[in-house]
Structure 1
Amino acid sequence: MSTSLIFGKGQIVEGVGLVKPITLNKYDFFQEKSSVLYYSKAHFGDEYETQFLLDLIVWGLNQNELVTDLIDLFKLTISDNITFFANSIDDYGFIIDEVNLIDKNNYDQIRSLIMRQNLMNEQKVYKDKLVQEWANKALEAKNRKGIKMTFEDMLSTVSVYAGKHYSDLEKYTIYQLQSDFNRIGKLIDYDATIAFKCAGDAKSKLNHYAEHVDLFRDPNDDLFVSQDKLKGLNQAMGN
């Protein structure tokens, strides 16, 4: 497994150059601009399956602010010198330099890489509007019942537990922060389980403090555990 993400390194993409994960001092601006990356073909319907995703975003949605958001995102992750051109509906893109360019042919690759580097999960889109509505309600209910925790809470936890000053954490990537935060949780759980076992608890399972943590797992994957449950939901709603 590559160590590039844990060391905060970027990845070179042919025809584009170095794509870098953002650092936390740019997190707020990234959050403001990155919602455009959540648009996937699933949002546009089956009839657009053969279309390029960037065509659908730039020309289909036809919102100038989305193009501006993409420019700002590429400036954050690739180069300060990004410029957009549009000679025609078929001849447009984001110029990086004399030889490198983001266009409809490589946008999907760049989008996926930026999302992976910064731990963004693909949004689940259901074809049935009623199923989508119920999925949204289930997600809202899950969030209400879950532990209230903000990004700032993760920062303060890592700062206090690891003895990091906030000026140090500004240089962290999202992946590095999440990795440290999850590892701290593993260490605390390990110490607590040891204490329970020493007190006579024979039921608690002792997991290794350095066991793998999958940072790419979508926490909402278990919203609907199986296709059978989705089918049952459809039947309950008369579909």
Structure 2
Amino acid sequence: MISVNKVSEITDYQHYKGEPIHVHSIGTVHQIKIKDYDKFEELHGWLLFEKEDFNIESENHTLFELICASCTQNATLAQNVEELIKLVMKVDEIDVLIDHVGSAITYKGGTLHSGNYETFRELVLKQAVVHKEPRYKNEHMKKWFEMKKQLWAKEKKNDIDLIAKFTTITTFSGRSMDDLMDYTILQFEFEFDRVNRIILFERNSHVIGHGDVPSSHFAEKFDIFRNPYDDWFRKESDVNIL
């Protein structure tokens, strides 16, 4: 098991191996496996919260403090926070502490607080291949983004769900669904993407004809962590709102 201070210290191969990673002050973080996919989907929404999502004066509070404060008012949120941390940290119980000093969530082997929450959030979302949507204060940008997202969903044929990915991998590899249950979400997504690249390579090879080589080799490196929204534009000034 490797030990790091920041997510950037972890190599792609270390992510891919799926082994627990010890993060300084946070503790040992475990990747989500496919068998727990449904549970993770149900629980992880609070990791996508930003300060503007709270109806609380946020100027003098960190995002983590706002989440902890909201847990005292929202039983569903409190349960989701507790269950996700138990799932990721492999602990049986947690304690949420809120006082004049600040907020903290303690558990066996570590503590979450304002100083390390962003590292925790980044690691869990990255290893589950969950991409955060960009946030905009400009109302025109917000409307543009929602329109763009709807068009993108249609273009990408957003019906490639978990079942479609399972059947693609099992049909191509000859393995059963049970064989894949102990894969991490990241390993599963890597394999699905690689299978697609192999199929596309073989198809292009036949189309191009003998003696020619497709421009992209099926085994070339790809960035599975790349946020698809990054391809839309680099910054707000790249978009002209009419």
Q: Name the TM tier (shorter chain).
A: 0.7 to 0.9
What is the identity, as a one-letter code, of the residue corresponding to 1:210?
Answer: A
Relative to structure 1, the CA distance from residue 86 to residue 162 in structure 2 (aligned partners, 3 Å threshold; closer, same or farther) is same
- 1:115 matched to 2:125? The reply is yes
Gaps of 5+ in 2: 1-10
Per the normalisation by structure 1, the TM-score is 0.85
Match of 1:179 in 2: 190
Match of 1:217 in 2: 226
C-alpha contact 1:43 1:125 (8 A) present in aligned 2: no
Match of 1:189 in 2: 200
- 1:66 matched to 2:74? The reply is no
Relative to structure 1, the CA distance from residue 84 to residue 146 in structure 2 (aligned partners, 3 Å threshold; closer, same or farther) is same
The counterpart of 2:91, out of the listed 80, 84, 95, is: 80
What is the CA–CA distance in structure 1 between the aligned matches of 2:217 and 2:122, rounded to whole Å? 32
What is the identity, as a one-letter code, of the residue corresponding to 2:166?
Answer: L
What is the CA–CA distance in structure 1 between the aligned matches of 2:52 and 2:13, rounded to whole Å? 32
Percent identity (aligned): 22
Cα deviation 1:160-191 (Å, max 9, x = unaligned): 11122111111111111111111111111211
Relative to structure 1, the CA distance from residue 77 to residue 92 in structure 2 (aligned partners, 3 Å threshold; closer, same or farther) is same
What is the CA–CA distance in structure 2 between the aligned matches of 1:50 and 1:15, rounded to whole Å? 24
**SS of residue in 2 equivalent to 1:95:** strand
Moved more, 87-96 or 118-127: 87-96
What is the identity, as a one-letter code, of the residue corresponding to 1:139?
Answer: K
Relative to structure 1, the CA distance from residue 107 to residue 207 in structure 2 (aligned partners, 3 Å threshold; closer, same or farther) is same
The counterpart of 1:15, out of the listed 15, 21, 25, is: 25
- 1:104 matched to 2:114? The reply is yes
Relative to structure 1, the CA distance from residue 39 to residue 90 in structure 2 (aligned partners, 3 Å threshold; closer, same or farther) is same
C-alpha contact 1:135 1:223 (8 A) present in aligned 2: no
Aligned structure 1 segments of 4 or more residues deviating by more than 6 angstroms: none
Match of 1:95 in 2: 106
Question: How far off is 1:217 after superposition?
Answer: 1.1
Question: How far off is 1:8 after superposition?
Answer: 1.2
Gaps of 5+ in 1: none
C-alpha contact 1:84 1:92 (8 A) present in aligned 2: no
The counterpart of 2:42, out of the listed 32, 36, 46, is: 32
The counterpart of 2:134, out of the listed 124, 136, 140, is: 124
